[in-house]
Amino acid sequence: MGLPKPNLKIASIELVSGEFLIGKKMKFKVVVENIGQDTSSSYTVAVYDENNKCLDTDSEKPLAPNSKNSAKLYLTMQTLGNHTLRFVIEGGESTHNEKYRTYLWSQVEDLNLEIKGIRDTGIESYYRERMIGKDNRNHEYGIGLKVDFGHLLQSQNILIRKAFLKLNADSRSIGAKDKDIGIYRITNPNGWNKVSSSYFNESQCDAQGYLDDKSPWTVDINITDLVKKWYTGKYENYGMYVFAKDNIPTKKDYGFGYYNFKKDNNIKIVVTYSILSENFIGGKDYINIIEQVEAQFGAKAALYKMMHDFNSHDNDIIDYLKYNLSVNFDAFCNKFNELIKQSGLIREEIIHEGPGPNGGPVKKIIIEDDFKEFHYFRNKLNKAPATLEDLMKEKDQWEMLPYYKAAFHMFDTVESKNGLFNLKFVSIQDQRHEAVYNQFGTILTENNDYRNMGTYNYVGPNDIEGHKLYDVEPYYKWGNINGKGEGNSFVAALNRAWDFVQDSSAIEYYNSYATQFKLPPCDGKSLEELESVMKDFFLT
């Protein structure tokens, strides 16, 4: 086999069939592109695991210039955890192109359940049968379920991916029709051991499914969100009721008739979950790997790897990392911020010994073009409560910034119809995360208000000089979002601060929150005073 030309590259990697489940076969499509001028030699595409074991190969014929071809690779994983697969173009003795993908492999398990029948007789009671529906005396029957997570609770690094309640009726009464099945989370601590008032007074129907009267009488109800919140402690695990009820939004008239679920295996909750090992993002082994990359190839290469690793995971995993694995996420952010400062992509250079305006040497700020990608990446690292109401529930973790430090976030936009009412907060512990809310308490992000949004800081605002260098200056140059132009100018922000101190309604709204965060009320600074204090904070 001849050596491939260096102009071959892996254009894309796609999972076309199978799931990331233990023991399941997966099929990948790897698109290879010839971006050069010469026809390539024959080549092979291979996939390796993190132990450098070849899992599969596919040999391909030569590629003409500016053309593509798709290799097919098959593999089956037998161990649980997160794995980095290396996809490689090979030929002869040389490896000319490779791409990495990190995947979380999962497995499926039935959860242990405590099950009981319930009958509504005006006062709910336990019932020996497991039925859903009504009998001919108009008694309503349902099922109570309580989940036992068992061994899953022994690990801090379990990620619930999917959860389904699977109902399979073994019989039905005469006249049983289609039924909309409702899942009602029990919110009363006594709601399981001593069923209290009517189940339909629970806060909401948490999930729904449709049970067809045609055999087989089965229904799978997606309860992923409910199980996740039970598992992570966001909901107390008091159990749930399963009923066919008229108060579930439906046009059906159920009439009489019920379905029986007598056998234990006719009622299941099946979860798909992943285990996040130490080499998952932010884990001890992961940070060690990043430090090895840094030592061998430098801070910039380590930054690219961390950014790629982060981007290789779906939103479900990233949200879990941010909001449930704070140790991992903090370790990732600490290392990333450290590498940003060590990369040299932003730096100050002395161009004249001075004395300059401040009495010292005259400096010039250098921002390399390569920093642009890392500048926009910060938006993915930010996290904040979804509403101002949510932030107030954890206000001991947030610092409200005075209006003159929030002036860059006070512009009128579609989402901020009166931007002078926008409030800005920064996380107290690390000063990294920002949150900006409009007058209706909606958080402003790149999706609804890129001009006023809060973002992530590589250096917290308490370090004024560092914050100017690594966060403010790139913002002036590139703005918050790629392709949307430069950031708001200092003069424009100064004018917004001046507009604010002349707007009594905005001041009243601001002061109502400032007192709760131990900020002095708006003191009506003059334009000259505003310019002075804002220059110190925003201009290098």
* C-beta separation of 226 from 202 below 8 A: no
Residue 394: per-residue pLDDT: 95
Q: What is the largest CA-CA distance in the chain?
A: 96
Q: Which residues of 137-168 are buried (b: 16+ CB within 10 A; e: fewer)?
A: eebbbbbbbbbebeeeeeeebbbbbbbbbbbb
| Terminal CA-CA length for the chain | 59
Element holding 294 (H helix, E strand): helix 284-297
Residue 466: per-residue pLDDT: 94
Residue 195 identity: V
Residue 389: per-residue pLDDT: 97
Residue 250: per-residue pLDDT: 40
User: Which stretches of the chain score pLDDT less than 70?
Assistant: 1-6, 79-81, 92-96, 121-128, 154, 156, 193-203, 245-255, 354, 356-359, 540
Bridge partners, 177 (sequence order):
none
DSSP assignment string, 67-122: EEEEEEEEEE--S-EEEEEEEEEEETTEEEEEEEEEEEEEEEEEPEEEEEEEEESS
Structural domains in the chain plus CATH codes: 8-104 (2.60.40.10), 111-275 (2.60.40), 278-343 (no CATH), 380-538 (no CATH)
> Which of 269, 287, 367 is closest to 328 using CA atoms?
287
Residue 258: per-residue pLDDT: 85
Residue 117 in tokens: 């029948």
Peptide bond into 62 cis (omega under 30): no
Residue 197: per-residue pLDDT: 43
Residue 94: per-residue pLDDT: 44
Measure the CA–CA gap between 306 and 286, rounded to whole angstroms: 10
Residue 358: per-residue pLDDT: 67
Residue 252: per-residue pLDDT: 45
